[in-house]
Amino acid sequence: MATPRTDTASFHAYLTTLQYPRIVALCGAGLSASSGLPTFRGAGGYWRTHEATSLATPGAFLRDAGLVWQFYSYRRHMALTVKPNPAHYALAEFSRKVPGFQCFSQNVDGLHQRADHPRESLQLLHGTLFEVKCWSENCGYREENFTDPIVPALALPVDGKDPTATPDISDPKVPLARIPIESLPQCPRCKRNALRPGVVWFGEQLPMQVLMNVENYLNDLAGVDLILVIGTSAKVYPAAGYVQEARQRGAKVAVINMDANDVPAGGWEDGDWMFKGDAAVIVPELLR
Ligand code: BV8
């Protein structure tokens, strides 16, 4: 298997050879780690006693909408209390400089948007925590919503000892309220169904428009020059598959990851780069 380069000089030299750069960034939870949001693997991989991804399914919502809404309400709250980091701003700035750049993000935390990333070059593969929609596809109601908590019943419990502290309800030792279904967000249009988080759950198709935008970009006859794989374990499909798809269209691969062992599916190829470290530090350096 080839050995990836690790120097930014050869990376920047490659960029200068691109007359009309066509570059993709595939982003994951590691991009927001430095902003203070937990990733899905490692410590953040569990929410209380639940593997985080086991709560990101329609079945989990049907089984216990109160638990799933507390999971999402907590993540909405966390995302609103942190800020975009230099990597989010560097990606947004690069978008404004390079027309052929696209950011395919798996992140639902809203930090790209708060870094003013131009919307035409941001594909939210898995939706966003800050959109809610009716459970019923027939109703089709959806709205952008930043209210925290979205309903009073989802307010974080006040810690008796220190009312100013926000109890960490991701800690299994902190008791979790049982919330009656009628106190959860309800659809204001049909008034018959629950509102659910506007994210893509496992087993759900990615948004059609996003899929079309991604496929149109990857299938453009101009090919792809480079894919940056930023802070993702690249295990969730179809997102993870975009690395190979870009490679098949001529792209070199540059991985930016804290863990040097997070190797792209299919392994390294000649001309790849591996930049080990914090995306918040490395990405601005690479895109300067
Ligand atoms: C679908 C939203 C079909 C919700 C999420 C093949 C093809 C198609 C589908 C499948 C397939 N094989 C399997 C499937 C099914 C499934 C899947 O992929 N399963 C996996 C587990 C194998 N895929 C689906 O279900 C998808 N739907 O395909 O539908 C279909 C077609 C037609 C009709 C109906 C259906 C939908 C998947 C979307 C799931 N939703 N999120 C929510 O967030 O609650 S996924 C969620 O988990 C994230 O969005 C993200 O994608 C994933 C977590 O991954 P990462 O972001 O990479 O985070 P992770 O913690 O794993 O890694 C962090 C990395 O950062 C690490 O490498 C770490 O080292 C690094 N790091 C840490 N700190 C830093 C850092 N790096 C840099 N700097 C740092 N500071």
Instruction: Assess if CATH 3.40.50.1220 describes domain 1-37+85-126+206-288.
Output: yes
- Look at residue 216 in the predicted model and tell me its pLDDT: 97
What's the pTM value of the predicted model, to 2 decimals? 0.96
Residue bearing the CA closest to ligand 1, atom 22: 236
ipTM comes to 0.96
Binding residues for Zn(2+): 134, 139, 187, 190
Q: Which backbone phi and psi does 77 adopt, to 5 degrees?
A: -60, -45
- Look at residue 25 in the predicted model and tell me its pLDDT: 98
pLDDT tens digits along 238-259: 999 999 999 999 999 999 999 9
Q: Which atom of ligand 1 is nearest to the CA of 42?
A: 60
43, pLDDT greater than 70: no
User: Under CATH, which number does the domain 38-81+127-199 receive?
Assistant: 3.30.1600.10
Compute, in angstroms, the gap from residue 235 CA to the centroid of ligand 1: 6
Separation CA 223–CA 249 (nearest Å): 5
How would you class 175 by CB atoms within 10 Å of its CB: exposed for 0-12, middle for 13-18, buried for 19 or more? exposed
Q: Which residue has the higher pLDDT, 237 or 41?
A: 237
Compute, in angstroms, the gap from residue 258 CA to the centroid of ligand 1: 17
Q: Which atom of ligand 1 is nearest to the CA of 259?
A: 69
The H-assigned helical ranges of the chain are 8-16, 30-33, 52-55, 58-63, 65-81, 86-97, 111-114, 208-218, 241-248, 279-286
Separation CA 243–CA 266 (nearest Å): 10
Residues in contact with ligand 1 by the CB-under-6-Å rule are 28-30, 33-34, 39-41, 53, 56, 106, 108, 126, 199-205, 231-233, 235-239, 256-259, 262, 278-279
- Look at residue 53 in the predicted model and tell me its pLDDT: 84
The H-assigned helical ranges of 34-169 are 52-55, 58-63, 65-81, 86-97, 111-114
Compute, in angstroms, the gap from residue 252 CA to the centroid of ligand 1: 22
Question: Residue ranges per domain, the chain?
Answer: 1-37+85-126+206-288, 38-81+127-199
